């Protein structure tokens, strides 16, 4: 697929009608799949004890507990804070309106499982993911994903990568015995010589790439890799397109990640990373 064909496809994206295949709204017994413009307008904050429509900013380091043995949902803001985990995100066309707050930069790992991550649930919804994880930056997201790879495993990646990605892969190659093969991902068949049924663990795609805007055929590469390497995972950096214009998990990828600092934020006022997974066990 050429860049021109890709842009023509994205320009033909329909934003209506609001409900697919049926004009009736969703109900408890009939769940409809709404289009992104509708899904992104609403984020549930129904568990706020005071009925606030927007999520308040909780400026506290610690939280009171019922007792020494009955721990609440939050204890220390370093590991979880209602503002971070319940923050309402509303996405427009490549714009995420947010009030992420202080201390996000202290978060080096996904929010712990005992939190109630509305932000993650909302992002999972717009990515068509079983689970989403929010971390401090796009590079942190990639670092978390690469923890799935062990010494002796191999990675296949594109020949045009974000500089930070390239440096991290080079570091792993030198220090962890994790080899990366760089190929032209605009041609799916270019992966074939490097696919190994056991050693190949990740296929890392950027599409469009940064900076040359190369386009990879996610469905074709996913089919090819999953047929030849059943244990390999397709990982897509979807930063350039955002989930509004491209959904890699619906196209065959196993993991999608973003630098939320860029198009998901849109305001140059936060740093964040997002991971979405097709299989919940990968998220665990």
In-domain check, residue 166: yes
Residue 211 lies in a domain: yes
Domain count, the chain: 1
Q: If we measure between CA atoms, which residue out of 138, 155, 126, 137 comes closest to residue 248?
A: 126
Which structural domain, as residue segments, surrounds residue 229?
Answer: 139-283
Residue 105 within any structural domain of the chain: no
Residue 43 placed within a domain: no
What is the predicted pLDDT for the residue at 187?
Answer: 98
Range in 72-76, 195-199, 201-205 the model is least confident about: 72-76
Cα–Cα distance measured from residue 194 to residue 185, given in angstroms and rounded to the nearest whole number: 12
Where residue 231 sits, what CATH number does that domain have? 3.40.640.10
- pLDDT above 50 for 32: yes
- The answer to whether 155 and 181 have CB atoms below 8 angstroms apart is yes
Q: Quick one: pLDDT at residue 283? A: 84
What confidence tens digit (pLDDT) does each residue in 7-27 have?
566 555 554 444 555 555 555
Domain assignment of residue 275, yes or no: yes
* Residue 139 pLDDT exceeds 80: yes
Check residue 98 and give its pLDDT: 36
Instruction: Please tell me what DSSP assigns to residue 64.
Output: -
- pLDDT confidence bin for 52, thresholds 50/70/90: confident
Residue 115 lies in a domain: no
CB 178 within 8 A of CB 153: yes
Segment 84-105, tens digit of pLDDT = 665 533 333 233 333 332 333 3
In a domain, 193, yes or no: yes
Question: Do residues 55 and 45 make contact, with C-beta atoms less than 8 angstroms apart?
Answer: yes
Render pLDDT for 270-279 as a digit per residue (tens, 0 to 9).
788 999 999 9
Residue 24: how many CB atoms within 10 A of its CB?
A: 9
* Mean pLDDT value of segment 226-245: 96
Rg over alpha carbons for the chain, rounded to the nearest Å, is 20
Task: Kindly state whether residue 228 falls inside one of the protein's structural domains.
Answer: yes
Identify the DSSP state of 106.
G
């Amino acid at each position: 697929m050429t860049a021109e064909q890709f842009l023509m496809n994205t320009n033909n994206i329909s934003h209506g009608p609001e409900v697919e295949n049926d004009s009736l709204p969703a109900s408890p017994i009939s769940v409809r799949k709404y289009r992104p413009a509708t899904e992104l307008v609403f984020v549930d904050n129904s568990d706020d004890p005071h009925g606030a429509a927007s999520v308040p900013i909780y400026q506290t380091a610690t939280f009171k507990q019922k007792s020494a043995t009955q721990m609440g949902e939050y204890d220390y803001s370093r590991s979880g804070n209602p503002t971070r985990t319940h923050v309402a995100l509303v996405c427009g066309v490549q714009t995420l309106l947010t009030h992420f707050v202080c201390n996000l930069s202290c978060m080096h790992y996904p929010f712990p499982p005992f939190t109630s991550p509305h932000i993650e649930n909302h992002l999972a919804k717009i990515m068509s993911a079983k689970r989403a994880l929010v971390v401090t930056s796009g590079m942190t997201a990639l670092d978390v994903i690469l923890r799935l790879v062990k010494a002796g495993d191999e990675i296949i990646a594109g020949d045009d990568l974000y500089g930070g990605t390239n440096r991290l892969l080079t570091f792993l190659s030198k220090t962890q015995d994790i080899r990366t093969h760089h190929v032209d991902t605009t041609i799916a068949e270019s992966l074939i010589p490097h696919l190994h049924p056991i050693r190949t663990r990740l296929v890392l795609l950027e599409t469009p790439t940064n900076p040359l805007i190369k386009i990879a055929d996610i469905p074709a590469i996913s089919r090819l890799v999953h047929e030849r390497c059943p244990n390999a995972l397709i990982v897509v950096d979807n930063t350039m397109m955002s989930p509004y214009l491209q959904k890699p998990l619906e196209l065959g990828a196993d993991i999608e990640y973003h630098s939320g600092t860029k198009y998901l934020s849109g305001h140059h006022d936060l740093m964040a990373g997002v991971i979405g997974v097709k299989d919940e066990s990968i998220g665990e």
